[in-house]
Amino acid sequence: MAPDSPVETCVADLVKAMERIAPPHLAEEWDNCGLQIGSLRWPVGSVRVSLDPLLSVVQSAVRDGVDMLVTHHPLILRPLRTIDVESTIGRVIEAALQGRMALYCAHTNLDSAREGVNQVLARTLGLQQLVPMIPPAATNDGSAAGMGMGRIGRLEQPMTLGRLAEAVRQRLGLHQVRVAGDPDMMVQQAAVCSGSGSGLLAAFFETGAEVFISGDLRYHDARDVEAAGRGLIDVGHFASEHLIVEPLAAQLRQLMSDAGRAVRIDACALEQDPFYSQG
């Protein structure tokens, strides 16, 4: 008997796999996740994973023969009144459609997922005994609807805020991090939030964690944390989220392999933090 031939794959199969990894019901109400460009019926032999649907990322993927781009940040967050191919979004849409490449986004649902962005960030920082900062809502059958937003975890051993900030900087491969709070305060528990963390600051104050690690934190956030006798470490938006790209590609690769589907899946190597240090 001839060996089984690989099963032909289409966009719908990748969408199904992504919905296993990051169930759509975990997305925030304001968010726009899912298939943003393309057709569920388009065939897929190659997939690329990236953080952002940048024009350079899309153009590179099209040149490389990629059939589907999976991103964390959405290209289309709010309804479009027009598609102007001279605009940034319009040029991306034009490039994707000309290359017949589908674009799929998993945003806040991937933040909350059990093996999503916050989970990967917390593990990368060496936190243990992880629990969500904001627990998941219950579904109609009473079961948990995912891991929830943010994470709280214990350090392997207590250390000062100053030492922890340096450890975080090294683990994320950064030139610097921003820190607020007494550098000599002892830390046993840390809370993390990938991306922009200001919205979860109130939830952080309700926990027993001594330090909050996130990105895009504001001056008044730092003052509030300082006044509460706690600590804050701002690692930047990009660094707190880009680390999901390789693990997400690996998860997709495993699911496609388990399903007997011959799909090439890789991680985008072009992206860099738009912010850099000067002087």
Give the residue numbers of the binding site: 72-73, 111, 237, 241
- Closest listed residue to residue 194, CA positions, set 137, 109, 128, 104: 109
Contact partners, residue 77, CB within 8 Å, separation at least 6: 31, 32
CA angle (125, 131, 136) in 5-degree steps: 130
Q: What is the DSSP letter of 256?
A: H
Give dist(CA 232, CA 221) in Å, integer.
Answer: 9
Give dist(CA 173, CA 189) in Å, integer.
Answer: 22
Which residues define the annotated binding site for a divalent metal cation?
A: 72-73, 111, 237, 241
CA angle (52, 144, 206) in 5-degree steps: 75
Distances (CA, A) of 55 to 88, 94, 171, 202: 8, 10, 30, 36
Q: Specify the pairing of strand 231-234 against strand 211-215.
A: parallel
Phi-psi label, residue 216: left if phi above 0, alpha if psi -120 to 50, beta otherwise: left
Give dist(CA 20, CA 74) in Å, integer.
Answer: 19
Distances (CA, A) of 153 to 150, 157, 193, 206, 211: 10, 12, 12, 14, 11
